[in-house]
Structure 1
């Protein structure tokens, strides 16, 4: 079965878009992607979104965005997989093309979070956990991740300073990304002096609440050639998979292993015919610094317990062995939850085309990996992209 290709990519800057609606952000990103692909129509639309019904009291996003963008009477649907909704939507669009149901598919990831009060937004994000057995007892989403971070440090002997290097790296790269929410570098001292939000997680260990939208256009190689898309504008979705784990942390066999990420990565590597050693850069889900460490371990980049060591030793920088968060990741670019997986995909496309901003282009990049987490690791996608 022929692998699909991405022929168009678009996004809007991540931030607090007080005067822009969800439908306008999504439509702008979508039209940017269609313009990049050189097309004026698509066969279907998949929308990655986590919680529009809670954040802005609007569901049925497929119809909303297809209508607003003037796409006509095409099928359109929202894909929800918590914070992993964007990565899941990309996979669903790819599947539709691979089985031949649709020729040209649009995937949009969008979330508008800042219209809600922060306390309400915290509750909505918590819906990605187990409402009956975790939220009911007062465990917020950041608190659950704080438990993981505390155990990680205790088990492997790391300090808060060791994990701070993930944030420093993300901001160093994000400072050069015009679409990032926080375009400034930070020091280890800045991270350590930031206030605690849930001990040991500090403000600069966590990704911000924000708004954003990103989009990609997916088709087959045959259709891409028919549309006249140059080969150097095509990026192949070489391998992808999605896997689950228990939604409740207490039911996990190992709190410090992202089993769903490991399974998804293994399947994606197999589908792409590559290993972690073949990948030139990694866009992992650093909603919290500890999740970046656990992600590197789960996808086979670091041995168990050594993810934070890579950051501390500088091995995750653009010019190092394992570049991650090449355009700022969730921490610096921002984490508009349902859109994040599509932002990762757009950024990977730009890297593989050689179109990343100056200073953060990975040299001679041919293969990239994106990893998008839903919940505390209960629903994880891994996508491997390759230059055609």
Structure 2
């Protein structure tokens, strides 16, 4: 029998809304509170809301990136705005820093706090109303405001550092749609694949995600795209950042929210939460690779996924083969490809790599997608008592990683985990690449991308190596259409050229 201090997840809820007219101007706080009500109802204990002492909310994209900033205003205390709608009077309100890893990070951290008696129950919530936000702003509905002041300020949790370096910033290398294509082309180089063959491979990989989304009533794209459709670049599937067309990118402009509740076995028993709702965290880990992509010796490798997943499996006393269900973080194909390689999972694993459908097809609600992953994983392992499921979470650019292994099978003895600092020390000790900020002379392309706008190629990005020293540098290319088109049409990995300094940036001219 599990100890009273054992942490368990007891309630979950999800909302996907593609139909409410944007003119209603429903705020993200209203949308997220709806998921919170579903999570409370799922737990099946009327007294649970009164015992929740912590409400944690994933950072809204509007507070994360200027690309998603809103003129509609926001709350001075977002988690408290949600809590007030639910009648929850918590003692702590937490608002995360950015990162798709943060939902699983919160589970791991809160499980530890509950096992130590430092917390009795927490609700984790997240969501986005970017479909409504975009529609309201596009139509100029000036009477709609999301400004509110529920009182106080939230505690901030997570890592506030931005995910790109000053050099990357100077070269317009700062968004996921730019950095993940750089990772993808590095993977293609490691595999020795041609551009057409690798595009087909990515289409095949993500068609499996699209099939799951087609059967998920909460998914936003339920077309069930085939591998051929995903790999065909046309007017409805134009290039975003080569080699990714639109349908291989996370789908952010949606209205989705999710919530789950974590508490102790003792409180669940006291409140009468049915044991059929209890899900145990058997293994977990948190760690990050070298912070900037340009620091990593091998762009197609993640030591944090390799070592962190091993820590989680060891804690659970399980292997990846013991997992009945998987949900691998899937903002872009490269995130899945690296995850599979580092954990020893085949890309065509018959179990499937997702329980939701993935960020491009289920929906990519900013920092909170993994709240949905966890919520769906709870339902899956409940549906097959004794089964195990793995959730992986990724923040920034294959940078920050969190892992959770779930089952209805009780954990044994006192719940404890290794101090995450042990794993982080291992990761910090990994070597960094020789790097130079200002580059000049003969060089070769290590990886690259061509970024597109609606009318075609916009600019080129290169991670290169100086021939004389082997040092890495970041650069842009000349922006004329002929250069950009040639860079994309030819396999430019390993391509020679020269780099020079111009107006504070490195410019690589392909040979």
TM bracket, shorter-chain basis: 0.7 to 0.9
Which whole-Å CA distance do the structure 2 matches of 1:111 and 1:88 have between them? 19
Q: Where does residue 305 of structure 1 map in the other structure?
A: none
The structural deviation recorded for 1:89 is 2.6
Task: Note if contact 2:49-2:87 (Cα within 8 Å) is conserved in structure 1.
Answer: no
Shift of 1:116: 5.2
Residue 256 of structure 1: how far off its partner (Å): 1.0
Structure with the larger strand share:
2
Task: Provide the residue aligned with 2:54 in structure 1.
Answer: 44
User: What do you get for the CA RMSD once the two structures are aligned?
Assistant: 2.2
Residues 1:131 and 1:251: Cα distance change in structure 2 (over 3 Å): closer
One of 277, 282, 289 as aligned partner of 1:238:
282
Which fold has the larger relative contact order, with Cα–Cα distance below 8 Å and residues 6 or more apart in sequence?
1
Q: 1:27 aligned to 2:33?
A: yes
1:95 paired residue number: 112
SS of 2:360's equivalent in the other structure is: helix
Match of 1:296 among 340, 347, 355: 340
Aligned length: 356
Q: State which of 165, 168, 190 in structure 2 corresponds to 1:134.
A: 168
Name which of 230, 239, 245 aligns with 1:191: 230
What's 2:179 paired with?
Answer: 144
- TM-score with structure 2 length normalisation? 0.66
In structure 1, runs of 5+ residues without a counterpart are 118-126, 303-309, 355-362
Q: CA, structure 1 residues 10+323, in 2 after alignment: closer, same or farther (shift >3 Å)?
A: same
Within the candidate set 305, 311, 314, 1:270 is matched to: 314
The secondary structure found in structure 1 opposite 2:179 is helix
Closer, same or farther: CA 129–113 of 1 in aligned 2, 3 Å: farther
Q: Which of 377, 394, 400 is the matching residue for 1:373?
A: 394
Aligned partners of 2:126 and 2:257 also within 8 Å: yes
- Alignment deviations for residues 37-92 of structure 1 (CA, whole Å, 9 cap, x no partner): 12333121111225342534535322222223221243111122422232223333
Q: Say whether 1:217 aligns with 2:256.
A: no
Q: Which residue of 2 aligns with 1:359?
A: none
Q: CA deviation at 1:381?
A: 0.8
Whether the aligned pair in 2 keeps the contact of 1:84 and 1:340 (CA below 8 Å) is no
CA contact (8 A) 2:165 2:292 kept: no
Q: Does 1:153 align with 2:153?
A: no
Structure-2 separation of matches of 1:291 and 1:16:
31
SS in 1 for 2:262: strand
The secondary structure found in structure 1 opposite 2:163 is: coil
Once the two structures are superposed, the pairs formed by residues 1-388 of structure 1 within 5 Å of their partners are 3-13=6-16, 15=18, 18=22, 19-38=25-44, 39-41=48-50, 42-54=52-64, 55-56=69-70, 57-58=73-74, 60-114=77-131, 115=133, 129-130=163-164, 132-139=166-173, 140-158=175-193, 159-193=198-232, 194-209=237-252, 210-298=254-342, 300-302=343-345, 310-311=346-347, 314-315=348-349, 320=350, 322-354=351-383, 366-388=387-409
User: 1 CA distance for matches of 2:172 and 2:19?
Assistant: 28
Query: More helix per residue: 1 or 2?
Result: 1
Task: Please identify runs of 4+ aligned residues in structure 1 that moved more than 4 A.
Answer: 14-17
Deviation at 1:154, TM superposition (A): 2.0
